[in-house]
Amino acid sequence: MISDRTVNAINAQINREYFSAFLYLAMANDAMDKGFKGAAHWFTQQFKEETEHALRFSKYLEDRGAKVMLTGMDAPQTEWPDLLAMFNDALAHEKKVTAWINEIADIALDERDFATQNMLKWFIDEQVEEEASVSDVIWMIEMSSGSKGAMFMADRTLGKRKDD
């Protein structure tokens, strides 16, 4: 039996994953508006990935016999000063997501809910990847700042991101 406390925590996270998707879509739109097609592609991939995270948590609740409850969500920010600010916000957001996942892991430990602990392992590993990949992009953009040619190449590199 999964506890109501765990179900509520996972439902809250499902809604946050959808908000993450929405935030990255807003970043994709702003990147496109600024002419960075590669970054727009990168954020669109990220949008898809966040949707998959929400669905992965949803499948888990369904498997445990619990219902997914969607709520309203805040409007995302729609404009950033530049690409660096956008990716810095993406990193700050992923750090928040990591903290939220850790909170659910704390609850699952407290409840001795071993199945939820196992399910969360995938997300704990995923957050390490997320923070590392956004940090890599920030480094690339920082190295390119001040050079239009380097920024053009950085944007092209972002445009090569595959489905993962």
Window 31-50: residues binding Mg ion (CB under 5 A) = 50
% helix, strand, coil for the chain, step of 5: 75, 0, 25
Smaller CB distance to Mg ion: residue 33 or 125?
125
Q: Which residue is nearest to Mg ion (CB)?
A: 53
Sequence-ordered list of residues with C-beta below 8 angstroms from that of 22, at least 6 positions apart, any chain: 47, 73, 76
In the complex, the smallest distance separating the C-beta of residue 17 from Mg ion, rounded to whole angstroms, is 5
Sequence-ordered list of residues with C-beta below 8 angstroms from that of 122, at least 6 positions apart, any chain: 56
Interface with Mg ion (CB under 5 A), residue from 16, 41, 53, 93: 53
In the complex, the smallest distance separating the C-beta of residue 131 from Mg ion, rounded to whole angstroms, is 11
Q: Side-chain half-sphere of 161: how many Cα atoms within 13 Å?
A: 22
Smaller CB distance to Mg ion: residue 123 or 154?
123
Which parts of this chain interact with Mg ion (CB under 5 A)?
50, 53
